[in-house]
Amino acid sequence: MKRLTLFFLCLFASISWAAAQNRTIKGTVISGEDNLPVIGANVVVVGETTIGTVTDFDGNFTLSVPAKAKQLQVSYTGLKTQIVQIAPQMKIVLQSDTEVLKDLVVVGYGTARTIKSVAGSIARVSSDQLQEKPVANIMDALQGQVAGMNVATSSGDPNAVASVQIHGNGSLGASSAPLYIIDGVQTTPGVVASLNSNDIESISVLRDASATAIYGARAANGVIYITTKRGKSGEQARITASAQFGISQLISRGEYNNMMDGETLLAYQARHDFQKPYDWSKSKPWTADDLWKQMKDVKNFTLGERGHDTDWLDYFMGKNAPTTQADLSLMGGSDKTTYFLSFGYFDQEGISRSTSEFTKYTGRLNLENRAKDWLKIGLNMTGAFTKAKTSRGFGGAYVDGGTFGALFQAPYITPYYPDGSPIVDENIITAFGPITSPYYSNKNYPRKDETDLFAASAYAQLTPVKGLTLKTLGGVDLNINHYRASALPSAALGDGLGQRLESFSKSRRFTTTNTAEYKWDINDNNRLTFLLGQEYVAYKGLGFQAVSKGQQDDRFLMLQQGQMGNFLSLPSSSESEYAYNSYFGRINYDFDRFLFLDATVRNDASSRFGDNHRSGWFYSFGAMADLHEKLMPDNEKVSSLQVKASYGTTGNSEIGNYSSMALVGSSHYTDGLALSVISAGNPDLSWETQKKLNFGAAAGFFNDRLNVDLDFYLRKTTDMLMDVPMPYSTGFGYRYENVGAMENMGVDLTLDASIVRTKDWAFNAKATFNYNKEKVTELFYGLDEYEIPGTSVRYVVGDATQLSMPDFARINPENGAPQWYVPNTPAANEYYQGDRVKEYKGRRVTEDFNDVLLTGATGKKRFAPFNGGFSFNLSWLKVGLTLQADFAYSLGKYMINNDRFFTENNSEDFLMSNHSTRVLDEWTPENKNGKIGKFGNSGNMQFDTRLLENSSFLRMKNLQLTYQLPSSVFSEKTVISGAKVYVLARNLFTVTKYKGFDPEPISNLSMNQFPNTRQFMAGVQLQF
């Protein structure tokens, strides 16, 4: 099957041959993989490298050889080279070389090529690095594996989707997410999340313009191309069954270990007269014992036994949550047909007591058939059914759950009955007010979130004449979601009336792609490949939501079983659609396997833009030179050396579907319908364009025992799509415009070393590194700075996107008041004069807090400039043991720890909650050097740089020990042909200065985090 694929990805140079006088031999070269002719195989006389030829379109060759010649060497890319004895009529079978196949990468639309013949910047991750990782989303397993690609999972909820950026943040207003392609068809992150990791053959990450420009308007942020597994022609059916089970635990106790215990908190609260009666004698001190008695006998707080504190973090987040995965696959093929069939089950619970869970059932069928020598057809189908439950309350100041609830609740309050069982159907009375347990919410507010996903693609590939390949592909993605949430009438703390919410959404995306590829060998040293194509993508989505109230029986919760009258509310519905139509072309030139050139052009038209600018042109040029083969073929130290460069443009259209249009919305006035214009529209809205320049080099040393891949890039974004604030006089808030510019400049470095390679031992190491320097070069309205309201994110012309806050200076030792630096702005200079300002360390400071006037850029970058990872693999080959360790890091990263606004707030407003022990160092007349302000309003924690923390981290992502049973264990009579068992741990430890629970999220702010989890797993894989 691969005889055409590999021939069209890279033809070996024909070796000129010299005629001999003695004899002429003939033969045929076929592939042992599919029994089809190998076109372009090199046939050379052993010892006479100038005498040779290549096979023709039918795999035949004719060669005149000297009488003394004894052997031929036959070779072809992707197949194992063979040396065979010469005979008058020969039939030579070449078997697949899996090591070569590992170097094949997808370059967009056309046939795959070896990575050493590609001018673009492409990284490939094989299935070996993806399998057996206990993650709901496969992208999480790629963290630290590809230089220049930053992957972060912002939550430990099993339903969380990983955030992915390639070469930084490319836009200030449009999406910076990459384009996802599965087997040639565009798809969504949701479909990627539904994939079974064991179905994936490889993932190619396309990073520069030469590699991505062929995808045009959708590829500004890079492309992630996922190739799923295929069977092999002539391969006997192979069944693989695997299962793994493990648990997830809280990754870190974070700030919780620095919180006050019950007695310390009682003493702190009593010192500041918490719950002190108004008629309490002023001469009598208010003590912790008095406070305890007041809370127990008067306020009736739900107190535990004094001195036996509640571990609220364990209560809210302490579940040992199970993860289960089971997979079954069948693959193989006949001479003409290959197949891959798989089924998978994955279930992961979250560690929160507020139920979180993700379950998915997956199935895949990949079929390929060589109907004729000139016709190949294929079908890829995958389906998934997912069930999701997302924990309540995370991300906000919810006192009855999550990590924030654990920090906030006083440790002397108990959520348990005296017998140790959790309180469920009663309120837990706290100083903040009554709260309910997560067990109560789970019991009385059930939810179901179910999604059906189906993706399929089919293609036909024709080779009507030698060198010409025609391919047509059609694909579809279907997504159907049904969400139901109920409030049970029987809820013990409710009013006896229930409620039901139902929402339904459906979307479908159709893709059709038609390509024509022609490979023209001008002569032995010059080869051209031409590609022309057309693509059309159409999306349509719809949904509706309805709510009914007043149900009176848990058994009757349908929408129609609610009550009429004041209980009724109007349902809502939505529809949206978009379309792209594209034409593209590419030319590849190969000179003597030494110089590789490519040029790409693409025209995209999108319904998202105004009529005046619906179409956009994008292009790229790339060059790569293989210096080793020409300049140093016999160098023993340098085994490979390629240099490359590329330049090109790509586009970004990832905004709302109707941002260019003036829209009319509806509302209700009394009993009538009211219509109004809700957006201004922009008929001149057009493409955001990115210009990318790349230079790189790849080198192998000592027979490729050490490989180095280095890339420099400059990525400039112009005509940025930004949601620009409009003048109040227009009556509109914002509209999208093409304004502003920014750039990302950086370097990617990958080191891969085979340090030990002996008969019994192998030790390999890999490291990836990326440095990215972001700079905003232009904003709208001529502004030099702009802060997105309510986000603490500020754009500064000439610098990177920064976090923006008032700059805290110190606690004034004279009076215990906090002081802030006064920024040098006209508004601040006008207001802060006279008694409002003082001097500290040569700068102006003030105790008069004004959020608007004091807020300024902090110099702390929104996105980490340094990201990467490293891994080690140690194998004891003789025994079958392998130890794999993977690490990921992010440096120069900052995040606002919003939890500390509450835990270090030394004021009356938060006296009812628990506090960090750092508050004990509060300013008093006896402790004038206290780092916490004087108790009272002057000690209020403001939203300033005290909350801004360095969240750089190093994390062990994966530690795995695998034992491969020796083949001698399985005789020919046994059903099982191979087996391995393994144990692994994920997120085993983290090194960071961040005080919160998890430094990993790519976020400006963290509050009530659902942190990533630590996982311990064991699994087994059997082959039949």
Exposed/middle/buried for residue 372 (C-beta within 10 Å: 0-12, 13-18, 19+): exposed
Residue 138's identity, in one-letter code, is: I
Residue 337 main-chain phi, psi, to 5 deg: -125, 140
Other Cβ atoms within 10 Å of 763 Cβ, number: 15
Provide the pLDDT confidence category of residue 3 given band limits of 50, 70 and 90. Answer: very low
Asked if pLDDT for residue 35 goes beyond 70, the answer is no
For the chain, the farthest-separated pair of C-alpha atoms sits apart, in whole angstroms, at 124
CA torsion angle 956 710 149 361 (round to 10): -80
How many CA atoms does the CB half-sphere of 649 hold within 13 Å?
Answer: 15
Tokens of 624: 């790569």
pLDDT in tens, 538-592: 999 999 999 999 999 999 999 999 998 888 888 999 999 999 999 999 999 999 8
Question: Locate tokens 């109907």: which residue?
Answer: 371
Mean pLDDT within 44-63: 79
Q: 499-522 in b/e burial notation, b at 16+ Cβ within 10 A?
A: bbbbbebebbbbbebebbbbbebe
Q: Evaluate if residue 173 carries a pLDDT over 70.
A: yes
Write down the pTM of the prediction. Answer: 0.85
- Please tell me the predicted confidence (pLDDT) of residue 128: 75
Mean pLDDT calculated for residue range 755-770: 93
| Beta-strand relationship, 89-94 and 23-31 | parallel
Q: What secondary structure, in 3-state letters, does 484-497 show?
A: EEEECCCCCCCCCC
Q: Average pLDDT in the 169-181 region?
A: 89
Q: What is the amino acid identity at position 314?
A: D
Average pLDDT over residues 992-1007: 93
Among 373-387, 669-683, 889-903, which is the least confidently predicted range?
669-683
What's the number of CA atoms in the CB half-sphere (13 Å) around residue 404?
A: 19
**pLDDT at 565 (0 to 100):** 84
* Residue 319 CB neighbours (<10 A): 20
- pLDDT tens per residue, range 337-351: 999 999 999 999 999
Strands 223-228 and 179-182: parallel
Residues 195-232 as b/e (b if ≥16 CB within 10 A, e otherwise) read bbbbbbbbbbbbbbbbbbbbbbbbbbbbbbbbbbbbbb
What's residue 510's pLDDT?
Answer: 94
Q: Over the stretch 962-994, which tens digit does the pLDDT of each residue have? A: 999 887 787 666 788 889 999 999 999 999 999
Query: What pLDDT, on the 0 to 100 scale, is given for residue 107?
Result: 63
Question: What pLDDT does 75 receive?
Answer: 78
For the stretch 413-442, pLDDT in tens is: 999 999 999 999 999 999 989 999 999 999
- Please give the single-letter amino acid code of residue 10: C
In whole numbers, what is the pLDDT of the chain averaged over residues?
Answer: 89
Quickly state the pLDDT bin for 77 (edges 50, 70, 90): low
Mean pLDDT of 60-80: 82
**Mind listing the pLDDT tens digit for each residue in 15-31?**
333 333 568 888 998 87
pLDDT at 304 over 70: yes
pLDDT, tens digit (0-9, with 9 covering 90-100), for 607-648: 998 877 888 899 999 999 999 878 888 787 898 999 999 999
Q: Give the whole-number percent of the chain exceeding pLDDT 90.
A: 62
Q: What is the mean pLDDT of residues 461-487?
A: 94
680 CB neighbour count, 10 Å cutoff: 16
What was the pLDDT predicted at 12? Answer: 35
Closest residue by Cα to residue 54 from 648, 495, 466, 488 = 466
Is the separation of the CB atoms in 312 and 405 below 8 Å? yes
Separation of alpha carbons 382 and 185, rounded Å: 12
| pLDDT, position 391 | 87
Q: Is 439 or 524 the better-scoring residue by pLDDT?
A: 439
The number of angstroms, rounded, from the C-alpha of 89 to the middle of its chain's C-alpha atoms is 56
DSSP 157-226: STT---EEEESS---SSS--PPEEEETTEEE-HHHHHHS-GGGEEEEEEE-SHHHHGGGGGG-TT-EEEE
Choice between 870 and 16, residue whose per-residue pLDDT is larger: 870
